[in-house]
Amino acid sequence: MIQAFANPARFLSFSAWAWPFAGVAALILFAIGAPWALVFSPGDYQQGESVRIMYVHVPAAWWALGIYAFMGGASFVSLIWRHALADVAARAAAPIGAFYAGLCLVTGSLWGAPTWGTWWVWDARLTSMLILFLTYLGYLALHAAIDDEERAGRLAAVLCLAGLINLPIVHYSVEWWSTLHQGASLLRDGGAAIHPSMLGPLLTMAGAYAAAFAALLLANMRADVFRRRVEAARLRRARAS
């Protein structure tokens, strides 16, 4: 599978129909999930209407972690096998992951103000998520700071792999330390602690975030491949003249 998409032409052929398909899927899921979550789902008996922030916040948190794990896998493939599109994939995913991580932090603060009585605390979960967001920004900054794309890709890949150590810290922080942040409500011993009336819209929104990531990832990768082709053609013309 990895080698199947090492050929840019094959990737462009696949992504030409895959990214619009994922985009349409994202629009449909958002059209279903957003009103279901923000209007028709019930309020919480403790949190009231502020619980609706969960439907934006939780999928953003899940996919901020998932996208970084994807970048780690792509960075590993790029370093070890010199896969032609692995660095392109990691670089294309980074701004999307950074947006999701930033959205997670902002919505978490909006939820924390009425729930905890403060916009921010140096809680282990919040702090480790902030570190993840800053790692995303550092990855993007490193790519932008070095003109040699091959060298920038190698250094950014090393940074990305080093940052993977933060993922289990983010995930298990509420279990390892005493924190204000609540523990897992979905993947836990004894089954999900979320009522089906809330679980349905939450999973629909998570699917919408995933489809949006797939569409944006493929679109970003296509743009990068075309940009590199244009630059290569310009360089060939310059050498020929």
**What pLDDT, in 10s, does the model give residues 112-142?**
888 788 888 888 899 999 999 999 999 999 9
Produce one character per residue of 177-194: b if its CB has 16 or more CB atoms within 10 Å, e if not. eebebeeeeeeeeeeeee
pLDDT for res 1: 43
pLDDT band at 188 (very low <50, low <70, confident <90, very high): low
Q: Within 13 Å and on the Cβ side, how many CA atoms surround 27?
A: 6
In the chain, domain spans:
19-182+195-229
CB 192 within 8 A of CB 198: no
Give the pTM: 0.92
Give the tens place of pLDDT for each residue, 135-178: 999 999 999 999 999 999 999 999 999 999 999 999 888 888 77
